[in-house]
């Protein structure tokens, strides 16, 4: 199934790319030495393999159109270097200032940092993302820009959430997250499961979470039904950082 950018509140990028790339393609002779050399090396296939999620997001026809223009703008010799396509996200941004193109470019160059102490970390399998393990000052997954942690997600199972709430550790963690420009806490279970607990009063947990949300309203507590959906939500939240103005809001935490 192809993913439409409409799902994320963005316009489809096809018209924006088409109006910018078609003139360049028309000016290029498809039988020129550059084009022939490119066809034999299959650079579109190289780009598609390097950015599979971007291809799914915008659909293959739109991706191939952008890739063809990139190839015209940045021809290379055979064999194609391993680093070919590393600046593809920058190229996308140069074609349009639309928010949807900015989002796609952000996905293409996304790197998520995973806290070194995180057990059973998310792998983000099938997503266009690189992961790096290192110690984070707060949160389990984050985005670091120029040595600064600008976004983070704290992961909790429901038992861990309840335990940290009753011991006070959750309030400390939320206070740390609230100091970041963007942060959230994701729970790998349904909210309704709180009311099925028999070792702690459900009302105590519900009231405690409500109090935390009121005290730190800029750190949403999101219940995602299960681990798989929590992983998907974490990826979507961190991937959308380019559109959220992370560098203009909140206090920044420098990574050391």
Least confident of 50-54, 66-70, 212-216: 50-54
Best-predicted range by mean pLDDT among 86-90, 94-98, 142-146, 226-230? 226-230
pLDDT of residue 68: 87
Average pLDDT over every residue of 124-145: 88
pLDDT at 62 over 90: no
Q: What is the DSSP string of the chain?
A: -PPPGGGGT---SHHHHHHHHHHHHHTS-TTSHHHHHHHHH-HHHHHHHH-HHHHHHH-HHHHHHHHHHHHHHS--PSSPPTTTTTTHHHHHHHH---HHHHHHHHHHT-EEEEETT-SS----TTSS-EEEEE--SSSSEEEEETTEEEEEEEEE-HHHHHHHHHHTHHHHHHHHHHTSSEEEEEESS-GGGGGG-SSS-HHHHHHHHHHHHHH-TTS-EEE-SSHHHHHHHHHHHHHTGGGGTTTTSS--EE--
pLDDT of residue 98: 60
pLDDT in tens, 180-217: 999 999 999 999 999 999 999 999 999 999 999 999 99
pLDDT of residue 30: 39
Average pLDDT over every residue of 117-142: 89
Average pLDDT over every residue of 47-67: 80
pLDDT in tens, 163-185: 999 999 999 999 999 999 999 99
Distance between CA atoms of residues 113 and 144, nearest Å: 7
The whole model's pTM is what?
Answer: 0.61
- What domains can you pick out in the chain, each with its CATH number? 5-107 (no CATH), 111-254 (3.40.50.10130)
């Amino acid at each position: 199934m192809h993913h439409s950018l409409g799902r994320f509140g963005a316009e489809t990028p096809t018209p924006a790319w088409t109006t910018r790339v078609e003139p360049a393609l028309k000016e290029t002779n498809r039988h020129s030495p550059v084009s022939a050399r490119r066809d034999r090396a299959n650079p579109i296939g190289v780009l598609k393999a390097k950015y599979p999620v971007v291809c799914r997001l915008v659909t293959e026809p739109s991706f191939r159109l952008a890739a063809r223009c990139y190839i015209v703008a940045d021809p290379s010799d055979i064999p194609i270097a391993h680093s070919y396509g590393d600046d593809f996200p920058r190229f996308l941004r140069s074609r349009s200032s639309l928010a949807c193109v900015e989002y796609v470019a952000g996905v293409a160059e996304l790197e998520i940092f995973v806290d070194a102490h995180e057990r059973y970390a998310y792998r983000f399998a099938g997503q266009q993302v690189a992961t790096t393990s290192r110690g984070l000052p707060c949160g389990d997954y984050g985005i670091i820009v120029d040595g600064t942690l600008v976004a983070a997600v704290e992961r909790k199972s429901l038992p861990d959430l309840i335990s940290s709430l009753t011991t006070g550790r959750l309030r400390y963690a939320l206070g740390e997250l609230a100091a970041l420009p963007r942060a959230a806490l994701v729970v790998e279970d349904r909210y309704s499961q709180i009311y099925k607990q028999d070792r702690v009063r459900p009302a105590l947990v519900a009231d405690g979470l409500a109090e935390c949300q009121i005290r730190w309203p800029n750190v949403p507590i999101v219940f995602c039904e299960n681990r798989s959906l929590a992983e998907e939500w974490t990826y979507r939240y961190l991937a959308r950082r380019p559109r959220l103005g992370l560098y203009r809001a909140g206090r920044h935490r420098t990574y050391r």
